[in-house]
Homo-oligomer: A and B are copies of this chain.
């Protein structure tokens, strides 16, 4: 009745190996500074007892948690209509795993959720945070700043340098740099449009994404880079959804019946556009060529015809975000170091040719 079934402690291992707790601790944490015969005895004891360190006890003294929060702030459930986050999560997970860090997932949907996330981050439960899908008016950056947690953003944050939130955020000593990872949205868009031009298309339309997100703005900018003097009616604002793509495509066709190509802000939008084109009896790519963005296989490979699109390596984005964060953590605040951590890392995109253009 003395022995409970609870897990063995350092003490138990020490007793079994005939050494002190300190020695066991040393062996367990890298083992430097313990002579081999002893170390081996300890390892054996650990093995035999099935000892696993108590993370809570460890955190209490080290102030480290080996855990990173992943914050996905998306008010609309729409997000989950595409496998975007799943892919990023996978990338993040791989990298964190390699560093023995845990992934704490924080999903938010409304204002009160934001407060909760702020509190959690401020609570010092994690070593850092990876934050996604900020919109222009997002209160999260402010909360994060106040929480003082090392953070890497997924996608270029929306506030420009003179926006209220930005100054607020960037001026903090603890966040001397806003670190983010993004795809080369502008460059990718440029390549897509240039490709259409190269195909001999001249009346090229653009269906934008939700313009409260930088990815949509950047893709629009890329479009404009190439089509500087385009008829403004060739640009229709939309929202990244298939239904939005349909609406926009109709609008576009009504405005400019002589249209011969469309660059859609993402694959989902393109799929909607494709449907409308078919419905109107227009052939793709013969009458109208279509290019998307993302290369979301479950969409791009399934449309009819399969979609030519700009691929971004989503999983790699996730992996890189995690790597950047962990490097900063290991480097003991290296973000503020000489030369500084990169303010933003932009991953290249590649054009994937299929049948739609």
A interface residues (Cβ-Cβ under 8 A, vs B): 7, 50, 52-57, 59-60, 65, 67, 70, 77, 79-83, 85-87, 89-90, 93, 97, 102-107, 113, 116, 119-120, 122-125, 242, 268, 271, 275, 297-298, 301-302, 304
Contacts and interface: CB of A to CB of B under 8 A. Distances in A.
Contact of A82 (B57, B59, B298): B298
Contact of A80 (B53, B60, B90, B268): B90
Sorted from nearest, which 9 A-B pairs have the closest CB atoms? A56-B59, A80-B86, A93-B107, A52-B123, A81-B298, A56-B60, A105-B105, A103-B105, A56-B56
26 contacts: A50-B122, A52-B119, A52-B124, A54-B60, A55-B125, A56-B59, A56-B60, A56-B65, A67-B104, A77-B90, A81-B297, A82-B298, A86-B86, A89-B105, A89-B107, A93-B105, A93-B107, A97-B113, A97-B116, A102-B120, A103-B104, A104-B105, A242-B298, A242-B301, A271-B302, A275-B304
A337 to B, nearest CB: 19
A59 B67 CA distance: 15
Nearest to A314: B80
A193 to B, nearest CB: 26
Contacts of A103: 104-107
A111 to B, nearest CB: 14
Contact of A124 (B54, B119, B271, B297): B54
A141 to B, nearest CB: 19
Contacts of A86: 79-80, 83, 85-86
A122 B90 contact: no
Nearest to A279: B304
A85 B80 CA distance: 9
A123 B55 contact: yes
A123 B53 contact: yes
A7 B53 CA distance: 25
Contacts of A242: 298, 301-302
Contacts of A50: 122
Nearest to A85: B86
A326 B181 CA distance: 36
Contacts of A53: 123
* Highest count of chain B CB atoms <10 Å: which of A83, A103, A120: A83
Contacts of A125: 55, 102
A250 B68 CA distance: 47
A322 to B, nearest CB: 12
B83 A107 contact: no
Given A52-B123, A104-B105, 14 more contacts: A52-B122, A54-B123, A55-B56, A55-B123, A55-B125, A56-B59, A56-B60, A70-B105, A80-B90, A82-B298, A86-B86, A103-B106, A242-B302, A275-B304
A73 B222 CA distance: 39
* Highest count of chain B CB atoms <10 Å: which of A52, A53, A119: A52
Contacts of A104: 67, 102-105
Contacts of A80: 83, 86-87, 90
A84 to B, nearest CB: 9
A113 B105 CA distance: 19
A171 to B, nearest CB: 17
A80 B83 CA distance: 6
A297 B81 CA distance: 8
